[in-house]
């Protein structure tokens, strides 16, 4: 049931309750008070708990000696140092230049922005061996 449908239902119950008598009116007011309490609690929790952590600083990055290629194992988001969010689809190859505790610093070799991706959303790409295996006859 959509929110709009619930609001229409609640308002129609409220109109009926006001016409029928004090018991239904009391029940309607009690239900509205419950919705109000839940709404206030959700607003307070949303303000207290951050929805997403801020991107790491470039100062926190431990750089690698060589750029490693990783692959996004889930759909994720690259967060630039300016705070811009760029969606990254699963399977995208990323050039990782370093790591913080929870994030990987991804750089671009083209004109795309650099930024941070969560470590748990990427995995190193296993490169196939260049040695060809053949069976001897």
Looking at the whole model, is its pTM more than 0.75? no
Domain assignment of residue 74, yes or no? yes
Q: Which tokens belong to 70?
A: 């990783």
φ, ψ of residue 26 to 5 degrees: the values are: -65, -40
Quick check: 112 and 80 in contact, CB under 8 A?
no
Overall average pLDDT of the 123-132 stretch: 74
Q: Which tokens belong to 77?
A: 């988001």
User: Where residue 59 falls among pLDDT bands split at 50, 70, 90?
Assistant: confident
Domain assignment of residue 63, yes or no? yes
Overall average pLDDT of the 39-48 stretch: 68
Domain assignment of residue 31, yes or no? yes
What is the number of domains present in the chain?
2
Residues 69 and 104 in one domain: yes
Residues 117 and 76 in one domain: yes
Domain assignment of residue 108, yes or no? yes
Residues 33 and 68 in one domain: no
Percentage of the chain lying above the pLDDT 90 cut: 36
**CB-based contacts of 55: which residues, under 8 Å, 6+ apart?**
79, 80, 81, 83, 103, 115, 116
Domain assignment of residue 131, yes or no? no
The whole-number pLDDT of residue 81 equals: 85
Residues 69 and 112 in one domain: yes
User: Where residue 39 falls among pLDDT bands split at 50, 70, 90?
Assistant: confident
Rounded Cα distance between 27 and 81, Å, is 52
Domain assignment of residue 53, yes or no? no
Query: Which residue range is the domain that position 30 belongs to?
Result: 3-48
The whole-number pLDDT of residue 71 equals: 94
Beta strands in the chain (DSSP E): 62-72, 76-79, 85-88, 93-99, 103-107, 115-118, 122-124
């Amino acid at each position: 049931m959509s929110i709009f449908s619930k609001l229409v239902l609640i308002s129609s119950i409220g109109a009926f309750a006001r016409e029928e008598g004090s018991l239904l009116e009391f029940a309607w007011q009690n239900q509205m008070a419950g919705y109000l309490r839940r709404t206030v609690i959700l607003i307070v929790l949303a303000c207290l708990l951050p929805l997403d952590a801020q991107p790491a600083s470039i100062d926190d990055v431990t750089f690698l000696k060589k750029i490693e290629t990783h692959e996004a194992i889930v759909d994720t988001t690259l967060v630039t140092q300016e705070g811009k969010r760029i969606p990254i689809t699963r399977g995208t190859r990323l050039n990782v230049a370093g790591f913080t505790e929870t994030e990987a610093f991804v750089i671009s070799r083209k004109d795309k922005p650099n930024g941070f991706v969560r470590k748990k959303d990427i995995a190193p790409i296993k490169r196939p061996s260049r040695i060809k295996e053949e069976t001897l006859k």
